[in-house]
Amino acid sequence: MHFSKYNRNYESELTGFIKDLKRQQPDLERKQREARAIWWDKPPLTPEEVQRASTSDIKVKPYVYN
């Protein structure tokens, strides 16, 4: 008989916490997707927007925390 050296039934405290949180707040993932769409998922810039940004008088430093 072959035994795996890993316990397949193990669940970390973090995994348990996330599962409990999702059970308590069933709409949590939907809210996360909505928030991501607001802050991160932006449509690509139009050619006009790219042109306007490239001709801007204010140049942005590559690393702003100087």
> What would the mean pLDDT of 38-51 be, rounded to a whole number?
88
pLDDT of residue 13: 96
Give, in order, the Cα–Cα distances in Å from 31 to each of 12, 40, 55, 66. Answer: 25, 14, 37, 35
pLDDT tens track for 6-18 = 778 899 999 999 9
Q: Round to whole Å and give the CA distance between 35 and 32.
A: 5
> What would the mean pLDDT of 34-48 be, rounded to a whole number?
89
Domain ranges of the chain: 29-56
